[in-house]
Amino acid sequence: MTAVQHSGEPKSNTIRQRLAAIEGIGQRTYTPTQVVVKKAKGVILETLEGRKLYDFTSGVLVTNLGHAHPRFETLYQQYCGELPRSSYNMVTEVEVEASERIIRSMKHGNPKAEKVLWAASGSEGIQKAMWCALHKHPDRPIILATRYGFHGKKGLAGDTTGCQSSNPNVRFISFPMYEEKPESFYQNELDTLAAEFPNKIALLITEPYLGAAGSFHPPKWYHKLLQRWCEAHDVAFIFDEVQSCHGRTGNMYAFETYDVQPDLVVLGKGLGNGEPAAAVAGRADLIDALTYGEASDTFSANPRACAAACAVFDVFEEEGIVDHCRAVAPVMREKLESLVERFPFAKAVRGEGLVYGLEMSDKITAERCVLEAYRGIDGMGVHFLGPLAEKVLRVSPPLIITEKDINAAFDILYRAWQRVG
């Protein structure tokens, strides 16, 4: 595969060539820019050539506190101290503290949050959540998932991603997207499955909003309907908050945004602000359905992941990160809507908090917009991921972004996208 190359970037081009020669392209998702980053601070990425980019990705919704956040880095080192790098066959105090803080942070909005299981990645957390529900009711093999969700690529996480599955026990239900359908449509769909598989459905898993499918955020009644149905049929209701936890939707957790109380909530990405960490939190009877060894793996509850989680909680509390997200969210939405007004190829804005999808007219135009934003103006640009669902740009900057940063980034976009024909 030919390496991505950009004029005026000799150092970065060399790195991209070296990468293409030694590493499989399946390592990462496709982004037209393939930016080579020398360093990062706050909301700014700096390339090898010294160009600066406003980060509108947060490293795929991971660095909610931005890059090299001074308070986070200090606290992280303090929590790490002289701890071992593995805790597979031992216990550290920081693991207990991190678990307790997860439950405390969730408890006021969801009293079902009682116990925790750790994982090393979001998809592993998803699998563990589903294992809990399946072990709780071993006579119930059927799994329900909302259509077009993304829960991961591995195992059960992969089985419940998209709109079809090779797993014969998986069934998909509709998620509100472009269509305008009444509540009764979704209720009938669920009731039909309950009649087809009486007392055979173990769980229903959904994302709060469809991220990878193009940022579709459902009406508030939708998740409440799912929860009521799950409670009526004793089905575990699992919320995949891998990308939406820790302030992204304008609340600490998206279940607060959508006013529901899931039985199990899967956390990831922002939980460790870049340190690989994920967790499942929820009902004790479900968590305890797994016995010794059934949820263990090498890196889960790694002391450094738990240290990062504690440091994140500290910074969120000390600096009012969620309140700040709420304060700048209207500015971000207004600026995104101004792009729709200015450029005919920008068609729609969907989102909340600091996670949005900007839908473009087509795939080619969307990729061109990513490139022109990267090329920017006078040595400054804006960094996007590759388009979602072919033509939707995800806008998910660090939650610490200021109104000044937002205005400066959009001034670049206003000028750079004039080059998009």
In this structure, the strands spanning 346-352 and 355-360 are: antiparallel
Within 10 angstroms of residue 311's Cβ, the number of other Cβ atoms is 26
Question: For residues 68 and 403, is the Cβ–Cβ distance under 8 A?
Answer: no
- What are the tens digits of pLDDT across the range 13-72? 999 999 999 999 999 899 999 999 999 999 999 999 999 999 999 999 999 999 999 999
Assign a CATH topology to domain 10-68+321-419. Aspartate Aminotransferase, domain 1 (3.90.1150)
Distance between CA atoms of 182 and 81, rounded to whole angstroms? 55
Question: Which residue spans of the chain are classified as CATH 3.40.640.10?
Answer: 86-301
Which of the four pLDDT bands, split at 50, 70 and 90, describes residue 2?
Answer: confident
Distance between CA atoms of 251 and 256, rounded to whole angstroms? 6
Q: In what order do the strands lie in the sheet with 355-360?
A: 346-352, 355-360, 392-395
Confidence (pTM) = 0.97
CATH architecture of structural domain 86-301: 3-Layer(aba) Sandwich (3.40)
Q: At what angle do helices 403-416 and 321-342 cross, to 10 degrees?
A: 20
Residue at token pair 């700096």 = 46
**Please, which residues have CB within 8 angstroms of residue 342's CB and are 6 or more apart in sequence?**
414, 417
- What are the tens digits of pLDDT across the range 241-253? 999 999 999 999 9
Which of the four pLDDT bands, split at 50, 70 and 90, describes residue 199?
Answer: very high
Q: What is the pLDDT of residue 421?
A: 75
Which of the four pLDDT bands, split at 50, 70 and 90, describes residue 338?
Answer: very high
Q: What is the pLDDT of residue 179?
A: 82
